[in-house]
Structure 1
Amino acid sequence: MAETKLFSRAGEGEWTTTPDGNRRRVLLHTDELMMVEFGFEKGGVGALHSHPHVQSSYVAEGRFEVVIDGKVETLSAGDGFIVPSNLVHGVKALEAGRLVDTFTPHRADFLA
């Protein structure tokens, strides 16, 4: 069994383009938990979607319009949000920015 990676350093990890034209990189993961950084250009959209994973997100940089279950909030660097399992959610970058998301359990689709 491979040793679990316990630490992540700035700049580590390969960026991949997401289906909606943004970018992401998996920072750390176990079977139970995953941490992923997402990068958005101004106007970038994380399309409305849902998944069985519980998600928490931290706005590391920028400003985002966040929709969760029809509720809309504008969040800035230092703010965060939680998406319970299966709720429809999405974001729009009001300026270039980054989100750091955690998922439980991990998103196997991000590792494929």
Structure 2
Amino acid sequence: MALLKYEESNWERLGNLIYRKHMHGLRVTVAQFKLLKGSVVKPHSHTHEQVSIVVKGRLRFTVDNEVYIAEPGDVVHIPPNTIHSVEALEDSLVIDVYSPIRDDWLRGEDRYLRE
């Protein structure tokens, strides 16, 4: 068993306005992202299915040219190999679940989050 504690201060800083914590299971990766107002995750795609759950704030998701404003309690599904991006309209917290695991992150191939 593993426990990913929200309150602990060991958030990974990916950029000026983006912070992440994550853990990997056998078949899924779960990530918590703090996206501060004005932060942008640039358009990208990956082979992983993604489900994003907004816990706090407001986010503008663009998924395959469709735009969604997501608020607390909203869930966004992003199919594999689909171009998507997100912009934080407010300081936000989102939980992302990926399947299969984000082996690209394990290899350090997450530059799109760090630029």
TM-score band, normalised by the shorter chain? Answer: 0.7 to 0.9
| C-alpha distance in 1 between matches for 2:61 and 2:45 | 14
**C-alpha contact (below 8 Å) 1:49/1:89 kept by paired residues:** yes
Tell me, what secondary structure is at the counterpart of 2:104?
A: helix
2:97 is the counterpart of 1:98? no
Output the CA distance in 2 between the equivalents of 1:44 and 1:50: 18
- Aligned partner of 1:18 in structure 2 is 14
* Structure 2 residue 76 is the aligned partner of structure 1 residue 81: yes
Distance in 2 (CA, whole Å) between partners of 1:69 and 1:41 is 23
Q: Aligned residue pairs: how many?
A: 107
Deviates more, 1:14-23 or 1:59-68: 14-23
Q: Report % sequence identity.
A: 31
Distance 2:46 2:81 in 1: 5
State the 1:20 CA deviation: 7.7
Give the superposition deviation at 1:12: 4.4
Does the residue aligned with 1:66 lie in a helix, a strand or coil? strand
Q: How does 1:62-73 map to 2 (within 5 A)?
A: 62-73=57-68
The range that moved more, 93-102 or 16-25, is 16-25
- Offset at residue 103 of structure 1 (A): 0.4
Cα distance in 2 for partners of 1:110, 1:100 equals 16
* Match 2:54 to one of 30, 42, 59: 59
Q: Cα distance 1:17–1:109, how it changes in 2: closer, same or farther (>3 A)? A: farther
TM-aligned CA deviation for residue 22 of structure 1: 1.0
Q: Which has the higher helix share?
A: 2
The 3 A distance-change label for structure 1 pair 107 and 23 is same
**TM-score (ref. length: structure 1):** 0.85
What's the counterpart of residue 109 of structure 1?
104
Alpha-carbon offset, residue 18 of structure 1: 2.2
Query: Separation in 2 of the partners of 1:38 and 1:99?
Result: 5
What's the TM-score once normalised by structure 2's chain length?
Answer: 0.83
What residue is the counterpart of 1:9 in the other structure?
A: 5
Please, what is the CA RMSD of the aligned residues?
1.9
CA contact (8 A) 2:57 2:90 kept: yes
